[in-house]
Amino acid sequence: MYDLIVAGGTVVDGTGAPAVRADVAIEDGRIAEVGDLGHASAVHRIDAAGKAVAPGFIDTHAHSEISVIAQPDAPAKIRQGVTTEVVGNCGFSAFPLAEETREMARHFARPVLGHPEIDWEWSDAAGYFSRLERQGVAVNVATLIGHGTLRNAVLGFDKRAPAAGELRTMQALLQQGMEQGAFGISTGLCYPPGVFAGTDEIVELCRVVARNGGVYATHLRDQSDRLEQSVAEALEIGRRARVPVLISHHKAAGRRNWGKVKATLAMLDQARAAGHETWSDVYPYIAGQSTIISLLPSWVIDGGLEAMLARLNDPAARERIAREFETGLPGWENRAGAVGWDNVIVTSVVTDKNRDIEGLSVHAAAQRHGKGDVEFLLELIMEERGTVGKLSIQCCEEDVLTVLTHSRTMIGSDGLDVGNPHPRQYGCFARVLGEYVREKNALSLEAAIHKMTGLPARVFGFAELGLVKPGLRADLVVFDPATVRETGTFKDPRRHPEGIEWVLVGGVAAMAEGRPTGERNGSVLRKGTAGS
């Protein structure tokens, strides 16, 4: 007598092997048996005839560390089949925090992590995990340590290299976070304060990660004109520190850079052939979303928020910024120059005064106000005190397919739970299954599920997740391959996908017959524990 049998489905087990018709029995939150279980009894049964049964999806690149506190039922992820989220990406994480720079960390992270109403009362990974466990959460949560947050705790937003003692403090905080259960470090080398870090600093920190068996995930220093050089830097860090390298949302931004991903994927393959572990993650869209602060030359943000606002209020500094948007600046990723102001969309602001421009491009909003593009941008940042979200239309479909179909690419939504989110927050995984598997036939169902489950479980070391296999946690998704699809759009992003019917987390239904149950059976995953 089992607790539950998922009967009659087509099991796609997460290994990439061909799907098979099988029943899945669950006992005490774990998969007990897979096969023909027509003889077996169970307290509950799910009829999965005509449906696919897969491991719960693992979102390898999420920014949900605060939204899982604000919305512990995690509806945006549960309803697309995600049962595990890896947070702490792009250099942003919820810890470590120092009292003197705590509010600066929260403020600059707000356009990415959202939910300003949440009090960050913790200071380290243990405190953050304790907050999650006290309230419960519907999904499993694993975290990286954001280098930007780590650097802010020691150096604030100073544009300089750390002194020897400061570097040791950063290493000690990183070691503490790894011992408390983090799975590695992430960088956001185009975001402040990570943009101020040199290669040697990252190498020294990654050596700590390597000693603890973690991974290095990087939002590259430049994803546009200097993409290849930035991948080379990431691989150098991996080689020198002897740490696995994960290229976050691998892409080439701006028409003049389209096609470069073929060369950068080849660079990863070459490193792999030389004995260095390399992977990528990708979201299946040509547009991305982030904070508008990332568009500014790095010197503008030196010293933090008030220093930045003072510079933006200085006519000479504004003139210099406008000139650098036109001519570029050595070592600076001029993303706006690569994609154009008509492809930079304002997605969220704080003040009611500017609410009417949400959804407009910087160029269209500037025209509405009778101003030049850069003039309008800088005034907007000042009025909103830096808290502005933006969407960039930047990639091409051919590049998305090239990265998506590479054998060592995983799926990561890069979703932000902010005012006007990118639809990937609600539909990324359904989009892969509906558009790229069923409609475009770019991936087999088995390959797509492997990228969402078995592969990320292996990369991050989630030993009890990612496969439909006896003994592992019963995190499962039952969906209809013939109907699963994303329904959200950029104009109406907060729409849940269709075709996802059941989602089990630890054998407990977080979604039943297409309806969320409110159950919070997720776990905090800590590196080195039995669950990871």
Can you give the CATH number for the domain in which 281 is found? 3.20.20.140
Cα separation, 407 vs 24, in Å, equals 28
Helix (H) / strand (E) element for 505: namely strand 500-505
Outline where 212-259 has alpha helix (H): 227-241
pLDDT score for 278: 98
The amino acid occupying position 252 is A
Cα separation, 198 vs 242, in Å, equals 18
pLDDT grade, residue 420 (50/70/90)? Answer: confident
Measured between alpha carbons, how far is residue 24 from residues 30, 31, 480 in Å?
10, 7, 17
Residues 382 and 329 in one domain: yes
Q: Where are the beta strands (DSSP E) in 94-153?
A: 140-143, 145-146
pLDDT score for 264: 98
Sign of the C-alpha dihedral computed for residues 96, 100, 104 and 110 taken in this order: positive
List pLDDT tens digits, range 22-71: 999 999 999 999 999 999 999 999 999 999 999 999 999 999 999 999 99
pLDDT score for 529: 75
pLDDT score for 531: 58
Cα separation, 49 vs 288, in Å, equals 37
The mean pLDDT value for 250-273 works out to 97
pTM exceeding the 0.75 threshold for the entire prediction = yes
Residues 238 and 330 in one domain: no
List pLDDT tens digits, range 508-524: 999 999 999 999 999 99
pLDDT score for 528: 82
The interaxial angle of helices 260-273 and 227-241, nearest 10 deg, is 20
| pLDDT above 60 for 530 | no
In a domain, residue 238? The reply is: yes
Residues 381 and 400 in one domain: no
Residues 207 and 241 in one domain: yes
The mean pLDDT value for 139-159 works out to 97
Cα separation, 51 vs 8, in Å, equals 8
CB-based contact 58:453 (threshold 8 Å) = yes
User: Which residues are CB-contacts of 22 (< 8 A; sequence separation ≥ 6)?
Assistant: 9, 11, 34, 35, 36, 53
Q: 455 has which bridge partners?
A: none
In a domain, residue 28? The reply is: no
Per the structure block, which two tokens stand in for 203? 């190498």
The mean pLDDT value for 355-369 works out to 95
In a domain, residue 500? The reply is: no
Q: Are strands 476-479 and 52-55 parallel, antiparallel or unpaired?
A: antiparallel
pLDDT score for 506: 98
In a domain, residue 365? The reply is: yes
Residues 234 and 318 in one domain: no
Place of tokens 């003889």: 39
- Among the candidates 393, 414, 434, a domain finishes at 393
CB-based contact 148:158 (threshold 8 Å) = no
The amino acid occupying position 421 is P
Sign of the C-alpha dihedral computed for residues 267, 273, 277 and 282 taken in this order: positive
The mean pLDDT value for 471-480 works out to 98
* Domains: count for the chain: 2
Instruction: Classify 88 as helix, strand or coil.
Output: coil
- Among the candidates 408, 436, 460, a domain finishes at 460
Residues 328 and 425 in one domain: no
Residue 521: how many other CB atoms lie within 10 Å: 21
Residue that wins the pLDDT comparison between 332 and 429 = 429
- What does 154-192 look like in DSSP terms, one character per residue? HHTT-SSPPPHHHHHHHHHHHHHHHHTT--EEEEETTST
Instruction: Classify 15 as helix, strand or coil.
Output: coil
- Among the candidates 393, 427, 452, a domain finishes at 393
CB-based contact 153:166 (threshold 8 Å) = no
pLDDT score for 9: 98
The amino acid occupying position 91 is G
In a domain, residue 219? The reply is: yes
Angle in degrees, CA 204, 208, 212, rounded to 5: 155
Residues 331 and 378 in one domain: yes
In a domain, residue 140? The reply is: yes
Residues 277 and 303 in one domain: no
Place of tokens 């572990």: 277
Place of tokens 């969402």: 452
What phi and psi, each to the nearest 5 degrees, are found at residue 279? -145, 175
Residues 367 and 454 in one domain: no
Q: What rounded mean pLDDT belongs to the chain?
A: 96
Name the residue range of residue 432's domain.
57-286+395-460
In a domain, residue 44? The reply is: no
Residues 282 and 297 in one domain: no
pLDDT score for 413: 98
The amino acid occupying position 217 is A
Nearest to 177 by CA among 186, 190, 189, 188: 186
Q: Where are the beta strands (DSSP E) in 107-155?
A: 140-143, 145-146
Residue 106: how many other CB atoms lie within 10 Å: 18
Cα separation, 117 vs 54, in Å, equals 36
Residues 253 and 345 in one domain: no
| pLDDT above 80 for 472 | yes
In a domain, residue 344? The reply is: yes
CB-based contact 196:298 (threshold 8 Å) = yes
Q: 289 has which bridge partners?
A: 391
| pLDDT above 70 for 77 | yes
Residues 84 and 185 in one domain: yes
